[in-house]
A = this chain, B = another copy of it.
Amino acid sequence: MKQDLKIVKIGGNIINNEENLRSFLKNFSQINSPKILVHGGGNLATKMAKELGLQPKMVGGRRITDQANLEVVTMVYAGLLNKNIVANLQNNHCNAIGLTGADANTIVAHKRMVKDIDYGFAGDVDKVDAKSIQLFLENGITPVFCAITHNKNGQLLNTNADTIAAEIAKSLGNFYKVELVYCFEKNGVLKSMEDENSVIENIDSTSYQQLKENNTIAEGMLPKMKNCFEALDAGVDSVVIGNPTVITNKDQKFTTLKL
């Protein structure tokens, strides 16, 4: 039987608030199985870019990463955020290691092709090296990934953290029983955006099609759900979507996706 592996992705709602982050990392440390953390950048990179006199450019919620902004996200994501998270986890007796995709060549990506929009140094993932991630896990080391990858030719690339989490999950599905957990600001996928309690507790491939057709799942949730079902198709056991406490407390509503 495969060993459990929990892969948890956190975003701005946790990263932007010191108290939320501290409390989340304490809970995360208490997960007993092997685990991996993937973190987004929150609003700190935008703040830092402004302080340095740069104009952050966003199109459709995605950052346009020119050379100067790539330097900022490398500093903020891989330096300030990632290393403070690692030091905090060490304090919680979780033997963490902070990684970009360049470290131990864990995630290779390519610069996104220019079609309508030139996203600059934005990376689309080609390959996750499951073997080096397993080396860490098997030695009791918890990988903490930030949203930076590389192209194996010396170029760092800014890469969507949701995608990184899904790609890591897919690469490890052959070796572990993987639960991929997306923590965000809501309690799960909601029937009605206005009602926080309207959590859809279970979604499978059939109900997913229905929820798309009747527009319950739309806009920002669409790419997220697409990532999730691709991960399930590739051998990930289950995907959980919920608020940050879902990683240790299951006495609440959250959404579970299974094929």
Name A residues whose Cβ lies closer than 8 Å to a Cβ of B. 48, 51-53, 71, 74-80, 82-84, 86-88, 90-91, 95-100, 102-105, 132, 135, 139, 141, 148, 150, 152-156
Contact = CB atoms under 8 A, between A and B. Distances in A.
A84 B135 contact: no
Contacts of A84: 74, 156
16 contacts: A51-B52, A74-B80, A76-B79, A77-B79, A78-B78, A78-B79, A83-B100, A88-B154, A90-B105, A90-B152, A96-B104, A97-B104, A98-B100, A98-B102, A132-B141, A135-B139
Nearest to A83: B78
B150 A90 contact: yes
A53 B79 CA distance: 19
A83 B156 contact: yes
A97 B102 CA distance: 8
Q: Quick one: which of A48, A51, A98 has the most chain B CB within 10 A? A: A98
Q: Quick one: which of A77, A79, A82, A84 has the most chain B CB within 10 A? A: A79
Contacts of A53: 51
A51 B50 CA distance: 11
Q: Which 4 pairs between the two chains have the least Cβ-Cβ distance?
A: A79-B79, A75-B75, A91-B154, A75-B79
A148 B83 contact: yes
Nearest to A71: B80
A71 B82 CA distance: 12
Contacts of A155: 87
Contacts of A104: 95-97, 141
A156 B87 contact: yes
